[in-house]
């Protein structure tokens, strides 16, 4: 089998040729580099096709007045779309919504996730099961969790209203998702439920990398548990915390599914992505919608750069 | 009864309470969906905390009155196709990036990582156009192609890290024996990184199975709709009167395979998430 591989050199005596190359040293290296590029080519081609090209097209369309049903007649309009965007109240509302959503959900996820990670880091019967169970909210499709939460938030038959009324916390049922004052909070709670497991698991991995000997030594020296947490755990966990926070922030900034399924295109809760899709597909404004998408791209690019830098640092550190 | 025993007892109780809280928090919405899905017709409009009689009427309705079975097949095909293509491409790319040192390697690796982070919305208009040009609108291969945007960079990243860890001598012996690089990858490296391939495959499967934005935008009819889109489009007689029992039945059906995957492959999934998020 080895000798008849189609990718091998067409030379009828491959063994000999290869052996010559191996002894050639530098030649082998050059040959390996060429192989690396040959193997990378399909992946790079696919990524260029499905990511690079569409991104480029989005950037081009952003400067035109393209309309979905008559794309061929698109005209170059310069910065017109961006000028319009800057004065569009609904866009700024979506920016504000996205920031509120991101800050609120990521900060609560961090606190709860750290708590859950500390619990999961303790050895106890059933820890493996709990660790698997914690993954359930993460694995459920976002569309499904959005539907489940919408049902729990139902203004008449929802479990939250039922519990609230029974316990006397609510005087009357609340239309959680229809009421502008509660809708965003309700969405944030659903996101906290969905994404806290991810935060917890990243932090748990960080916790498990801390050598247990450090805690032993601290205990011998009479350091209390709270102090050990503040002076040992937190500083050593910092890289994991950083990466988890940036990762979750990135995810929260591009939120679409959860908000779209829970409150559709409602202005009071629409995120940047929801707003962009509405322009692109529902209103068929390919030009303007692309301008919106490009803006989102740049906002998120800043965070991606921060993330990649953090990853590079950790990669260099470990060698 | 000294103070110390009381303190330990309190701590234990507190810890147990935390465990119960985490458990309840994680499982309750799914439990709620399950008991709702077992209630017949208008029964869903009385709030019950424990299941009374279990009825499968909603489950039957989802398959008979809607083309949910068809949507499930679509989702499975798209997810399996995405996993297959991503793994086949990324295992070779990972060889190039993980086993060979060349100039621009790190730049390339981090560009690929960056590509997985960008908002899907940024490519939506261009992708919509591209899929149209290729004649793949409202067809499953179109979705597979679109999903490679996020599954391929992730797979390449994780497999590269794994390939890097293998000792160099492994492939050298084979190369000296005259094996082609393709043979080296398929016969020697693939078996060694198989655990990582299972992990990335699982994560790619879950990501493709759950994806919504592209599926919503790149399909039009039930012929090509995947489950998340179908669930988001279930409507009742009026906008305000959703058939909640049916929605919950459909939700439970798509969730069950995922919960099973998570329970069985918990360790692999977690290690994959950590590699994707933090360098392991």
Rg value, chain A, Cα: 27
- pLDDT, tens digit (0-9, with 9 covering 90-100), for B180-228: 888 888 888 899 999 899 999 999 999 999 999 999 999 999 889 999 9
At CA A199, angle to CA A195 and CA A205, rounded to 5? 145
| B279 pLDDT more than 80 | no
Q: What is the mean pLDDT of residues A223-227?
A: 88
- Say which residue the tokens 């439970």 belong to: B252
Bridge partners for A67 per DSSP: A70
| Measured torsion, CA atoms of residues B100, B104, B107, B108, in degrees rounded to the nearest 10 | -60
For residues B131 and B28, state if they share a domain: no
More confident residue, B123 or A304: B123
For residues B47 and B122, state if they share a domain: no
Q: What is the mean pLDDT of residues B115-133?
A: 90
Q: Residue B237's pLDDT is what?
A: 59
Compare CB distances from B126 to A42, A56, A243 and report the shortest one's residue.
A56
Q: Residue B240's pLDDT is what?
A: 62
Q: With contacts defined as CB-CB under 8 Å, which chain A residues touch B273?
A: 198, 201-202
For residues B82 and B36, state if they share a domain: no
- Portion 123-152 of B in contact with A at CB < 8 A: 123-130, 145-146, 148-149, 152
Cross-chain Cβ contact A205/B279 below 8 Å = no
For residues B162 and B194, state if they share a domain: yes
User: Which among A115, A47, A106 is positioned nearest to A247, based on CA atoms?
Assistant: A106
| B80 pLDDT more than 90 | yes
Is B89 touching A (CB cutoff 8 A)? yes
Q: Residue B65's pLDDT is what?
A: 84
> Is residue B11 domain-resident?
yes
Cross-chain Cβ contact B119/A296 below 8 Å = yes
Smallest CA–CA distance, residue B155 to chain A, in Å, is 11
Cα–chain-centroid distance for residue A188?
Answer: 15
Q: Residue B146's pLDDT is what?
A: 96
Q: What is the mean pLDDT of residues A15-34?
A: 65
For residues B29 and B97, state if they share a domain: no
- Portion 43-82 of B in contact with A at CB < 8 A: 44-47
Q: Residue B1's pLDDT is what?
A: 58
> Is residue B242 domain-resident?
no
User: Which among A208, A120, A196 is positioned nearest to B18, based on CA atoms?
Assistant: A120
Percent of chain A with pLDDT over 70: 90
Q: Residue A24's pLDDT is what?
A: 53
- pLDDT, tens digit (0-9, with 9 covering 90-100), for A271-299: 999 999 999 999 999 999 999 999 999 98
- With contact defined as beta carbons under 8 Å apart, do A200 and A191 qualify? no
| 3-state SS assignment for residue A224 | coil
> Is residue B30 domain-resident?
yes
What pLDDT band is residue B236 in, cutting at 50, 70 and 90?
A: low
Cross-chain Cβ contact B148/A157 below 8 Å = no
* DSSP secondary structure of B138-168: TSHHHHHHHHHHHHHHHHHHHHHHHHHHS-T
B129: closest chain A residue by CA: A54
Q: What are the backbone dihedrals phi and psi of residue B215, each rounded to the nearest 5 degrees, phi first?
A: -60, -40
User: Which among A240, A214, A239, A238 is positioned nearest to A227, based on CA atoms?
Assistant: A214
> Is residue B275 domain-resident?
no
Smallest CA–CA distance, residue A216 to chain B, in Å, is 19
- Alpha-carbon separation of residue B43 from A296, B60, B111 (angstroms): 44, 16, 54
Cross-chain Cβ contact B148/A46 below 8 Å = yes
Cross-chain Cβ contact B266/A261 below 8 Å = no
- pLDDT, tens digit (0-9, with 9 covering 90-100), for A204-215: 989 998 998 889
Percent of chain B with pLDDT over 90: 52
Is B107 touching A (CB cutoff 8 A)? no
What pLDDT band is residue A7 in, cutting at 50, 70 and 90?
A: very low
For residues B73 and B201, state if they share a domain: yes
For residues B50 and B121, state if they share a domain: no
- With contact defined as beta carbons under 8 Å apart, do A77 and A64 qualify? yes
Least confident of A108-122, A252-266, B44-58: B44-58
Q: Residue A172's pLDDT is what?
A: 92
| 3-state SS assignment for residue A67 | strand
Q: How many domains does chain B have?
A: 2
- pLDDT, tens digit (0-9, with 9 covering 90-100), for A82-98: 999 999 999 999 999 99
* Test mutation, B119, B180, B182, B202, chain A, max A CBs within 10 A: B119
| A241 pLDDT more than 70 | yes
Compare CB distances from A144 to B95, B152, B251 and report the shortest one's residue.
B251
Percent of chain B with pLDDT over 70: 96
Q: Residue A314's pLDDT is what?
A: 65
For residues B217 and B178, state if they share a domain: yes
> Is residue B188 domain-resident?
yes
Q: With contacts defined as CB-CB under 8 Å, which chain B residues touch A290?
A: 125-126
Domain of residue B148, CATH code? 1.10.3720.10
Cross-chain Cβ contact B210/A142 below 8 Å = yes
Cross-chain Cβ contact A115/B18 below 8 Å = yes
> Is residue B31 domain-resident?
yes
- pLDDT, tens digit (0-9, with 9 covering 90-100), for A69-80: 888 888 999 999
For residues B212 and B79, state if they share a domain: yes
Burial of B250 (0-12, 13-18, 19+ CB in 10 A): buried
- Say which residue the tokens 């690089």 belong to: B181
- Portion 220-259 of B in contact with A at CB < 8 A: 227-229, 231-232, 244, 247-248, 251, 254-255, 258-259
B20: closest chain A residue by CA: A130
What pLDDT band is residue A304 in, cutting at 50, 70 and 90?
A: confident
For residues B167 and B104, state if they share a domain: yes
- pLDDT, tens digit (0-9, with 9 covering 90-100), for B1-53: 578 888 889 989 999 999 999 999 999 999 999 999 998 877 888 888 888 78
Q: With contacts defined as CB-CB under 8 Å, which chain A residues touch B23?
A: 130, 133
> Is residue B260 domain-resident?
no
- pLDDT, tens digit (0-9, with 9 covering 90-100), for A129-175: 999 899 999 999 999 999 999 999 999 889 999 999 999 999 999 99
> Is residue B256 domain-resident?
no
Q: What is the mean pLDDT of residues B92-118?
A: 87
| A81 pLDDT more than 90 | yes
For residues B77 and B216, state if they share a domain: yes
For residues B118 and B209, state if they share a domain: yes
At CA A305, angle to CA A267 and CA B158, rounded to 5? 105
- Say which residue the tokens 């509405």 belong to: A278
**Containing structural domain, residue B8:** 3-58
- pLDDT, tens digit (0-9, with 9 covering 90-100), for B238-253: 556 788 999 999 999 9
Cross-chain Cβ contact B33/A156 below 8 Å = no
In whole angstroms, give the CA distance from residue B178 to residue B161.
26
In whole angstroms, give the CA distance from residue A296 to residue A276.
9
Average pLDDT, chain B: 89
- pLDDT, tens digit (0-9, with 9 covering 90-100), for B52-68: 788 999 999 889 888 89
| A9 pLDDT more than 60 | no
Q: With contacts defined as CB-CB under 8 Å, which chain A residues touch B129?
A: 54, 57, 71
More confident residue, B43 or B163: B163
The DSSP output letter for B38 is T
* Test mutation, B41, B96, B125, chain A, max A CBs within 10 A: B125
| 3-state SS assignment for residue A154 | coil
- pLDDT, tens digit (0-9, with 9 covering 90-100), for A37-59: 999 999 999 999 999 999 999 99
| A316 pLDDT more than 70 | no
Q: With contacts defined as CB-CB under 8 Å, which chain B residues touch A253?
A: 119
């Amino acid at each position: 089998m080895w000798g008849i591989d189609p990718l091998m050199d067409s030379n009828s005596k491959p063994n000999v040729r290869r052996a010559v190359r191996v002894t050639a040293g530098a030649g082998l290296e050059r040959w390996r580099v060429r192989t690396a590029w040959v193997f990378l080519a399909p992946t790079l081609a696919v990524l260029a096709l499905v990511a690079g090209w569409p991104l480029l097209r989005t950037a081009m369309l952003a400067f035109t007045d393209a309309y979905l049903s008559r794309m061929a007649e698109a005209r170059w309009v310069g910065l017109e779309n961006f000028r319009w965007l800057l004065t569009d109240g609904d866009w700024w509302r979506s920016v504000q919504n996205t920031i509120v959503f991101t800050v609120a959900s990521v900060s609560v996820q961090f606190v709860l996730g750290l708590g859950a990670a500390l619990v999961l880091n303790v050895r106890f019967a059933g820890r493996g099961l709990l660790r698997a169970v914690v993954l359930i909210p993460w694995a459920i499709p976002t569309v499904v969790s959005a539907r489940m939460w919408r049902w729990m938030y139902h203004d008449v038959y929802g479990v939250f209203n039922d519990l609230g009324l029974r316990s006397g916390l609510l005087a009357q049922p609340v239309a959680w998702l229809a009421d502008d004052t509660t809708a965003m909070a309700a969405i944030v709670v659903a996101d906290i439920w969905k994404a806290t497991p991810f935060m917890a698991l990243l932090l748990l991995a960080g916790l498990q990398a801390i050598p247990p000997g450090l805690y032993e030594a601290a205990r011998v020296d009479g350091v209390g548990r709270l102090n050990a947490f503040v002076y040992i755990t937190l500083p050593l966990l910092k890289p994991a915390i950083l990466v988890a926070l940036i990762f979750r922030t990135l995810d929260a900034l591009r939120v679409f599914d959860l908000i779209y399924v829970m409150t559709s295109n409602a202005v009071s809760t629409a995120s940047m992505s929801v707003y962009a899709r509405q322009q692109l597909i529902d209103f068929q404004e390919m030009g303007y919608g692309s301008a919106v998408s490009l803006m989102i791209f740049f906002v998120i690019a800043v965070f991606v750069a921060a993330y990649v830098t953090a990853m590079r640092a950790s990669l260099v550190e470990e060698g | 009864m000294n103070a110390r025993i009381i303190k330990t007892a309190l701590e234990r109780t507190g810890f147990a309470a935390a465990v119960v809280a985490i458990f309840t928090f994680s499982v309750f919405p799914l439990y709620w969906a399950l008991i709702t899905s077992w209630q017949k017709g208008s029964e869903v409009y009385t709030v019950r905390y424990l299941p009374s009689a279990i009825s499968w009427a909603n489950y039957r309705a989802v398959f008979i009155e809607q083309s949910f079975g068809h949507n499930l097949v679509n989702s499975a095909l798209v997810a399996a196709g995405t996993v297959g293509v991503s793994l086949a491409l990324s295992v070779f790319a990972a060889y190039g990036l993980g086993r060979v040192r060349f100039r621009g390697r790190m730049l390339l690796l981090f560009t690929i990582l960056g590509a997985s982070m960008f908002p899907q919305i940024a490519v939506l208009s261009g992708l919509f156009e591209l899929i149209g040009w290729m004649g793949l609108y409202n067809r499953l291969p179109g979705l597979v192609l679109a999903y490679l945007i996020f599954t391929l960079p992730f797979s390449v990243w994780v497999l590269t890290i794994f390939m890097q860890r293998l000792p160099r001598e492994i492939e050298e012996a084979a190369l000296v024996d005259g094996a082609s690089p393709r043979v080296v990858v398929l016969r020697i490296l693939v078996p060694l990184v198989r655990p990582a391939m299972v992990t990335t495959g699982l994560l790619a499967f879950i990501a493709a199975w759950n994806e919504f934005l592209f599926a919503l935008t790149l399909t039009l009819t039930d012929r090509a709709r995947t489950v998340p889109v179908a669930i988001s489009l279930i409507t009742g007689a009026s906008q305000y009167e959703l058939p909640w029992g049916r929605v919950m039945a459909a939700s439970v059906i798509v969730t069950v395979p995922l919960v099973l995957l998570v329970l069985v492959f918990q360790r692999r999934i977690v290690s994959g998430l950590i590699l994707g998020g933090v360098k392991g």
